Amino acid sequence: MNPTALQKQFPWARLHSLDYPVRLDALGAVLEEIHATHSHVRDEAHGEQGGQLIGDSDDMQQVRRLVEQVAPSMATVLIHGESGTGKEVVAHQIHELSARKGPFVAVNCGAIPEHLLESELFGHERGAFTGAVAARRGRFELANGGTFFLDEIGDMPAVMQVKLLRVLEERCIERVGGTKTIPVDVRVVAATHRDLGERIEQGKFREDLYYRLSVFPIEISPLRSRPDDVEPLANEFIRRLQSDATIGLELTPEAMQVLEEYSWPGNVRELANLIERLVVIRPNGVVAAKDLPWPLVERADAGSGLPEVLAASIAATGGDSGVTLPAEGIDLKAYLSKIERQMIDEALSESDGVVQHAAELLGIGRTTLVEKIRRYKIKH
C-alpha cells in the first residue's frame, strides 16, 4: 500500500516513509524528528516532574489556575522562573490541557549553536549548506497542530529574534535554502530565567518580540519561597524512584524540616537530584537530618535565622549564654529549635500577638517570623 493511500485511510497517523534498503542519512533525519517530538519523555526520564504540577502552596495554586485558564486558548505564553523551577513542566501541562492534537516539541534556544539554530527551528532543503545531504523539517513544522516550547528564549541570538517575530506574526516559515512558504499551525509557549525587561534595556532582546510573546505571562516562584511544596515534591520523587527497584525510603520529620529550610538554588531539579542520590545511598532506609549532605544542612542553618536569635540571647547575657554542654552531649539542632520556639512564644506574648513588634524584639524580619510561626505551628 502506498503512503498516500495509507494516510488517507488513517488520517490521524503520523506517517513517514523511507526507501528500503535504507539510506543512513534519511534514517538519521527521521530518527531526529522522532527524538525531537518525544523530548518531554526524555525530560521525564531525567527526573523532572513529568507533566504534573505538584504542590499546594498559594503560588503553585495560582500557576495551576493560570494554566487552566490559558490552555484552551491559542494565546502565546511566556513563562518566567529560575532554572529548575519546572518551566517545561508548566509548558507541557498547557499543551496537555489544550485541545491541540499535534505533538509537544521543545527546543532550548541557549543550547544550540547560533549557526545551527535557524536550521533547527525552520528546517532546511537539500544542498542548503555543506552537509545538508537531505531535506529536513524544522521544529516548527514538527510541532504543526501542536505546541512549540521555546526554552531560554532570552538567550536567542538577535538575528533569530527577527525571524521568530515574523513567524509569530505571519504563521508561516521558510526552510533554510528554500523558497516555498510553509504555513504552520503552532501554539508557542516560551520561557526564560532571565529578566527580559533588563535584556531589552541592554539592547539584547527585541521589545516587539517581548510583547508578542508575553500575551499571557506566568511566573513560577523559586522553591525557597514556597517551602510548603518541598514535602509533596520530595514524596512524589521518592514514589517515582521507588517504582523502579527500591522500596522503603523515608525521610524523618527533622530531615524534612531541613529540606524545607534549605534555599534550593537549583530549585525543583536540585531536590529531584537529592532524592535520587538518597535512594542510591539508602535504598531501603530512613533518612535522618544527619544523613543529609553537609552543604544542605549547613546552608539550611544559615538561612534559618538561628544565629540571629542566638546572638541576641548571648548578647543579652553579656556574651555568656549560660549554657554548658552536658557530658552525654546534645542534639544541637533540636535544642536550638526549642530555644527558637520559646523565644518566639515569649516575643509574641510580649507584643500581644503583634507580629511586627515581635519580629523587632527578635531582631529578625517580619516575613522570616511569619514563616517560623507557620513552621512551628504557633497559635497567637
Q: Which residues bind another protein (CB under 8 A)?
A: 1-4, 6, 9-10, 12-22, 24, 26-28, 30-31, 33-35, 37-38, 41, 44-45, 101, 103, 243-244
Least distance in angstroms from the C-beta of 114 to another protein:
24
Select 101 or 180, whichever has its Cβ closest to another protein: 101
Do 25 and 34 contact (CB within 8 A), yes or no? no
Least distance in angstroms from the C-beta of 110 to another protein:
23
Rg (CA), the chain: 27
State how far the Cα of 33 lies from the Cα of 183, in Å rounded to an integer: 19
C-alpha cell at 189: 509557549
Select 29 or 164, whichever has its Cβ closest to another protein: 29
Least distance in angstroms from the C-beta of 12 to another protein:
4
Select 53 or 135, whichever has its Cβ closest to another protein: 135
Do 212 and 169 contact (CB within 8 A), yes or no? yes
If you ran DSSP here, which 8-state letter would residue 1 be given?
A: -
Select 6 or 311, whichever has its Cβ closest to another protein: 6
Contacts of 265 (CB under 8 A, 6+ apart): none
Phi, psi dihedrals of residue 190, rounded to the nearest 5°: -115, 160
Do 138 and 122 contact (CB within 8 A), yes or no? yes
Spell 240-255 as b/e; 16+ CB within 10 A means b.
Answer: bbeeeeeeebebeebb
Select 14 or 171, whichever has its Cβ closest to another protein: 14
Assign residue 226 a region (left: φ > 0; alpha: ψ between -120 and 50; beta: otherwise).
beta
State how far the Cα of 25 lies from the Cα of 31, in Å rounded to an integer: 10
